[in-house]
Amino acid sequence: MPWIGPTIAAAASIGGDMMAQSGQQSANALNQQDWLIQNNEQRDYFGATMAFNAQQANRQRAFAQQQQLQAQQYNTEMSNTAEQRRVADLKAAGLNPLLAATAGAASSPTMSAVTGTGASVGPPTPPGANPQVNPMASFSQLGSQAQNALLTAAQTNQLKAQTAKTVSETPSPSRKYKTQTET
């Protein structure tokens, strides 16, 4: 019965392979399920973000429209009552209100519409990241910022040198007094 040992080993190997394959399939299924959950959560988050941003944009447009209407009404009111206000001003100053006919109308103040910015939500800041630093900034923006910093430093150094030169060339009061008394 020398064949029993190798047969048992082969059966164990096949059984182990089947168990490993089953374990791998199970792990794959769990990974796929995790990916779907994460993908759905991201889709839901970005959908909610877009809905919030759209709602805020609509609120901003309604606010701006209402402010524009109020500004137009105020400007119309001021324009329509310019003569009456001019006469009232002349009477209050103790002058003849007939001067309003020759002196011209009172100026009509204007009001511009108030504007604002709507709220906006973007992707969340990863934990440990600085929200003031934009990790997506382009290299050209970073290069411009570096150039601006170098330019500012050079201008500061030039200003210091000009100040030192002016101070060294300006006679002090004691030197000025000596040269005036010697001549």
Encode pLDDT of 103-146 as tens digits: 665 566 776 766 666 666 665 555 555 555 555 555 556 667 77
Residue (of 100, 119, 132, 108) closest to 51 by Cα position = 119
Tens digit of each residue's pLDDT, the chain (183 residues): 666 767 766 666 766 666 666 777 777 777 888 877 777 778 788 888 888 888 888 999 999 899 899 989 988 888 888 888 888 888 898 888 887 777 665 566 776 766 666 666 665 555 555 555 555 555 556 667 778 888 888 888 888 888 888 888 877 665 555 555 555
Write out the DSSP string of 35-71. HHHHHHHHHHHHHHHHHHHHHHHHHHHHHHHHHHHHH
DSSP, collapsed to helix, strand or coil, labels residue 80 as helix
Distances (CA, A) of 101 to 77, 96, 104, 105: 20, 10, 6, 8
Q: Name every residue whose Cβ is closer than 8 Å to that of residue 109 and which is 6 or more positions away in sequence.
A: 78
For the chain, what percent of residues have pLDDT higher than 90?
2
CB distance 105 to 88 below 8 Å: no
Reported pTM: 0.39
Domain segments of the chain as ranges: 7-105, 139-183
